[in-house]
Structures are given as C-alpha cells and as structure tokens.
Amino acid sequence: MATITATESVAELALPPASLISEVRLFLWLASGMFSTSALALAFLDYWVVASSSAAETHFVAAIVSAALFGVATLLKLGPGEA
C-alpha cells in the first residue's frame, strides 16, 4: 500500500490523463473480446437448449470473426499494456 510522505505531492502519484483515442482503442479491444465470448456462449446454448443449428451457426461464425478481430487488435497492441 502506497503512502504519501511530506516530499511527495498527490499530483505526482496521480495517473496521467488518458487521451480520447487511447480510451476508444481500449473500448474497442474490450468490446471485441466480450462480443466474441458472448457469441460463442450463445452458439453453445442454441445447440444445447434449442437444438437449432441455423441460429447456432450464425452465432458461431460471429464468434470466430470477433475472436480473429480481437487477436488482430491484441497483436497491434490496441489494448492495455498489461495484456
């Protein structure tokens, strides 16, 4: 846990302000990953609950395309630095 001493100011400990472009890049990176996960979950639920292959195939293709976009976005380092 960080403590502030008399020589340190609160401004020095604050994170630098993020630009709008970096926030949009982070949002797109997170949204593509979450969409991929949810589309894949919907595909499995369609097969398991409804046994309807037409809707499940659409969800599965959407999950694969979104996962590919997520991979490209990660390789281009559009996400956070820790990813």
pLDDT digits over 42-69, tens only?
878 877 887 667 777 777 888 888 888 8
Residue 24 in any domain: the answer is no
Residue 5 in any domain: the answer is no
Instruction: Supply the range of the domain harboring residue 79.
Output: 32-83
Residue 38 in any domain: the answer is yes
DSSP conformation class of 2? -
Round to whole Å and give the CA distance between 59 and 42: 6
Domain count, the chain: 1
pLDDT band at 10 (very low <50, low <70, confident <90, very high): low
pLDDT band at 11 (very low <50, low <70, confident <90, very high): low
pTM of the prediction? 0.56
Handedness of CA 58, 64, 65, 69 (dihedral sign): positive
What is the pLDDT, as a whole number, of residue 46?
77
